[in-house]
Amino acid sequence: MRRTRSAKIVATLGPATSDEPAIRALFERGVDVFRLNFSHGTQHDHARRLDTIRRLEKEFGRPIGVLLDLQGPKLRLGTFEGGRAQLDAGAHFRLDMDATSGNARRAPLLHPEIFAALQVGTDLLLDDGKLRLRVDSYGADFAETTVLVGGPISDRKGVNVPSAVLPISPLTPKDLDDLACGLAMGVDWVALSFVQRPEDIEEARAIIGKRAWIMAKLEKPAAIDHLDAIVDLCDGVMVARGDLGVELPPERVPELQRLIVRACRKRGKPVVVATQMLESMIAAPVPTRAEVSDVATAVYDGVDAVMLSAESASGKYPLEAVAMMDRIISRVEADASYRIGIDATHEASLSTTADAVCASMRQVAALLAPAATVTYTSSGFTSLRAARERPAVPILSLTPDVATARRMAMVWGVHAVLVDDVHDVAEMIERACRNACTEGFASSGNDVVVVAGLPFGLSGTTNLLHVARIP
């Protein structure tokens, strides 16, 4: 099964798409990577879904990526008398470590790490930013605030501190347990929530090692201050626009989305745009025109993947949402201005042998219009550097490692195929030509551009470019 588009589709599984027929239909409609959202459902639920994905993978003979999305720390208020209260603008309101139910004058906030990060004048956001408080004074276990934006508040609503770096790990005990479960199951990517600084990626890497690739979810303003360092350390990035739009003015989100996408494209790291892409399709069979434009804008910017959340997990029209996203991507990529925009935003290559080879591949592809670029890779490095160049032809990634093949499902333009090891250049060229034909990319008389690293099997050695004509 070959996709004819370059940008990929990530879809979240949930109550509406938990059985084998539903997952099969999603894959057939265009899903490249399935997201297991560990904020919801049990480990058993997710293990069962992953087993289904692996069965479909064998049936279709196509590697399918699986993304484990960790919940991360959840900072919440405690309870209120009667379950709710009304906060009026201008009123004084106290937050403290007393677990007693709150009222219109105070509420429990059992998170000492929040109090440790406060300063006078700090804004606190409640219930996804619907209410706003200003800190007037504080201590190790309390904060006296003034209500700037009031409204109703109820039990266990979330608390955001947009202007502070909280002294807290992105991995809670629940996350560590979920992570151990997911790694044992064999997930391909781990999405790390609540990333604030580069050290958060290093903490996760020390646990995960090489068992999965790490995707940093950028949802905190503090992470933007360390954007380059975070992108350098992780394997991919998710633009988590929901939380980012709570902690920052909404009008800044498009600007930051483009900033993040550019940073990832410059370094050749896969980047996913997520949250509310086709939100109305949770309840409606067609999206709004604004949502279609939102997905199209991300694709025009050259993102590796776009993601569905509740649309595919719990919505009424999960298959229609995937099909719509597939059509939007295909339409954008068929537009002549898409290629012009991709070329215009292409960053200069690094002064390395690998990037010199892949930059040459991009030029050869533009001049000769070969049927495909064929990369040989064990670790995925060669295919990632090739995808960074955004060539005008598909990238057929041949690898002997099934984990690498699955991870490549997230990467722009890459069609991964599992193959046996090769032993010399002649065998490599022959197999590249053969697979380009069997996978539907080329036929007799077509050219293919082969990119690889010698010696074979050694990561990071991309140093060979060869143009072959298929007999």
Tell me, yes or no, if 35 is annotated catalytic: yes
Which amino acid type is present at position 401?
A: D
| Cβ pair 209, 123 in contact under 8 A | no
For the chain, the C-alpha Rg in angstroms (whole number) is 24
From the list 5, 35, 49, 269, the catalytic residue is 35
Find out whether 77 and 108 touch, Cβ atoms under 8 Å.
yes
Q: Does 217 qualify as catalytic in the annotation?
A: yes
Separation between Cα atoms, residue 353 and residue 350, nearest integer Å: 9
Within 10 angstroms of residue 216's Cβ, the number of other Cβ atoms is 28
Q: Residues 24, 54, 74, 76: which is the catalytic one?
A: 76
Task: Provide φ and ψ at 297, rounded to 5°.
Answer: -60, -45
Helix axes 289-300, 318-334, angle to 10 degrees: 50
* 3-class DSSP state of 274: strand
Residues 394-422 as b or e (16 or more Cβ within 10 Å = b)? bbbbbbbbebbbbbbbbbbbbbbbbbeeb
Residue 156 is a catalytic residue: no
Q: Which listed residue (217, 388, 390, 407) is catalytic?
A: 217
Contact 34, 154 (CB under 8 A): no
Place of tokens 């930051």: 256
The tokens 């060669």 sit on which residue? Answer: 382
Q: Which residues are catalytic?
A: 35, 76, 217, 275
